[in-house]
Amino acid sequence: MSNTNETPTRGSSHDREIVEAKVIVTCPGRNFVTLKIVTRSGVEGLGDATLNGRELAVASYLQDHVVPNLIGRDAGQIEDIWQFLYRGAYWRRGPVTMSAIAAVDVALWDILGKMAGMPIYQLLGGRSREGALVYGHANGRDIAEASDAVGRFIEQGFLAVRAQCGVPGIKKAYGVSSAKGYEPAESELPLETTWNTPRYLGVVPKLFEQLRADHGAEVELLHDAHHRLTPIEAARLAKSLEPYRLFWLEDATPAEDQKAFELIRQHSVTALAVGEVFNSIWDCKHLIENQLIDYIRTTIVHGGGITHLRRLADFAGLHGVRTGFHGATDLSPVTMGAALHFDTWVPNFGIQEYMFHTDETDAVFPHDYVLRNGRLHVGDTPGHGVTIDEKLAAKYPYQPKQLPIARLEDGAMWNW
């Protein structure tokens, strides 16, 4: 509450008043939307609002509808501002809204950390672990190439690797790329890819059989089916992968059908992960309460920020479900920094996805997290430890890019 008689001291509500909120759109290799909030005393906080292929929708939501509501508020009232933007908005949830709320929330936690002189993991309750186990992305056009790529990750010290390989007869299979990093949003209008489930189901068990033969039993292996299967096909895949002990099978079926996971569970003990496209606790309530998944992938930028993810993670913890945050390159270093503070604290942590950003992205977003021995370690910089070089950001204007779509061979639309 603002108190006009209060002497402005460090940390007073007068000092904490939000005087500026700026939306920064930049494309250092890919598009990112960042919100910078500034308080009267000059403390700055950053939040990521990137929604791949829909960046300007979130930028507009922030600019046109959120920013005018922030000016004059107390940056220390993180919970009240969250409730104002969620409960007060009438139109709730959805990726655009929740990414915008996340940007505000993370920027405010960053400010709180800077005011307190503490890293965010400390504000959340302190360190539960030294570093966050991460998984890298290996892929290849065929099984042999994918296995070589997995080997290279293991040589670099990765303890966990996601593996994807080409599907015979399919152009542009999900997760496969000849470039250094896998960047699916490639073109101004969506690239059309084709899909064939029987061929995919034929190749994936062979891939993991080969990976275990080449790399042994210990390395953690993961796979992403990217929402392509029907419930019974997913059950079949999960069952056929059991001998290769995956850390998880991700997004086996389209995530909005929570019942589908009951069927997969009836048939298999392969661990299941889902939720990178979720944006609220309500999207995964049934899955968690009924213990139909093992890992929840909803992450800070698309799930309403640290404030909401903390509720989600606690709820998941009650039911034996661990976190496995989404961390593809379309989540900016700001989200990665915030996520790593969360991972460093959260008791029911599982794993963190990690893809290298381009050098241009790293230069625009200087950060203090480092990769050591297969784990990412946050620094002790107050806040989340990620900043933005605005001058450099301005040199990379927005470029329209959308995610691909998938069609079956008869032309019908499928899930990408």
Q: Give the helix/strand (H/E) hosting 210.
A: helix 197-215
- Looking at 45, 136, 184, 333, which residue binds ligand GCO (CB under 6 A)? 184
What residue 184 binds from ligand GCO, Mg ion, none (CB within 5 to 8 A, per partner kind)? ligand GCO
- Looking at 226, 302, 308, 375, which residue binds ligand GCO (CB under 6 A)? 226
Token readout for 31 is 């598009």
Respond yes or no: is residue 226 known to be catalytic: yes
Considering the complex, what minimum distance in angstroms separates the CB of residue 356 from ligand GCO?
Answer: 13
Considering 61, 135, 174, 244, which one is annotated as catalytic?
A: 174
Stretch touching ligand GCO by CB under 6 A, among 4-12, 13-21, 212-220, 324-332: 324-332
52 in contact with ligand GCO (CB under 6 A): yes
What residue 258 binds from ligand GCO, Mg ion, none (CB within 5 to 8 A, per partner kind)? none
What residue 263 binds from ligand GCO, Mg ion, none (CB within 5 to 8 A, per partner kind)? none
Pairwise CA distance, residues 185 & 191, whole Å: 9
Stretch touching ligand GCO by CB under 6 A, among 37-45, 75-83, 193-201, 323-331: 323-331
Considering the complex, what minimum distance in angstroms separates the CB of residue 323 from ligand GCO?
Answer: 14
With CA atoms as reference, report the closest residue to 280 among 111, 85, 48. 85
Measured CA distances, 270 to 222, 240, 246 (Å)? 11, 9, 7
What residue 119 binds from ligand GCO, Mg ion, none (CB within 5 to 8 A, per partner kind)? none
57 in contact with ligand GCO (CB under 6 A): no
What residue 30 binds from ligand GCO, Mg ion, none (CB within 5 to 8 A, per partner kind)? none
Coil, strand or helix at 370: strand
Question: CB of 413 within 8 A of CB of 195?
Answer: no
Site string for ligand GCO, 374-413 (x = CB under 6 A): -----------------------------x----------
Tokens 């896998």, residue located: 182
Considering the complex, what minimum distance in angstroms separates the CB of residue 185 from ligand GCO?
Answer: 7
**Backbone phi and psi for residue 5, each to the nearest 5 degrees, phi listed first:** -85, -10
CA 269 from chain center: how many Å?
25
Q: Give the helix/strand (H/E) hosting 342.
A: helix 333-345
323 in contact with ligand GCO (CB under 6 A): no
**Backbone phi and psi for residue 411, each to the nearest 5 degrees, phi listed first:** 100, -10
Coil, strand or helix at 235: helix
Residues near Mg ion (CB under 5 A): 224
Of how many residues is the chain composed? 416
Pairwise CA distance, residues 8 & 181, whole Å: 49
276 in contact with ligand GCO (CB under 6 A): yes
166 in contact with ligand GCO (CB under 6 A): no
Site string for ligand GCO, 326-345 (x = CB under 6 A): x-x-x---------------
Question: Is residue 289 left, alpha or beta, with left meaning phi > 0 and alpha meaning psi from -120 to 50?
Answer: alpha
- Report which residue type is found at 299: T
Coil, strand or helix at 182: coil
26 in contact with ligand GCO (CB under 6 A): no
* Cα first-last separation, the chain: 47
Of 233 and 276, nearer to ligand GCO (C-beta) is: 276
Considering the complex, what minimum distance in angstroms separates the CB of residue 53 from ligand GCO?
Answer: 7
224 in contact with ligand GCO (CB under 6 A): yes
Considering the complex, what minimum distance in angstroms separates the CB of residue 11 from Mg ion?
Answer: 41
Considering the complex, what minimum distance in angstroms separates the CB of residue 401 from ligand GCO?
Answer: 10
Considering the complex, what minimum distance in angstroms separates the CB of residue 58 from Mg ion?
Answer: 20
Coil, strand or helix at 367: strand
Pairwise CA distance, residues 240 & 247, whole Å: 14
Beta bridge partners of residue 372, listed in sequence order = 375
Respond yes or no: is residue 174 known to be catalytic: yes
302 in contact with ligand GCO (CB under 6 A): no
Pairwise CA distance, residues 219 & 160, whole Å: 6
Token readout for 76 is 């220390």
Contact positions toward ligand GCO, by CB under 6 A?
A: 52, 184, 224, 226, 276, 326, 328, 330, 353, 403
Catalytically active residues, by annotation: 174, 226
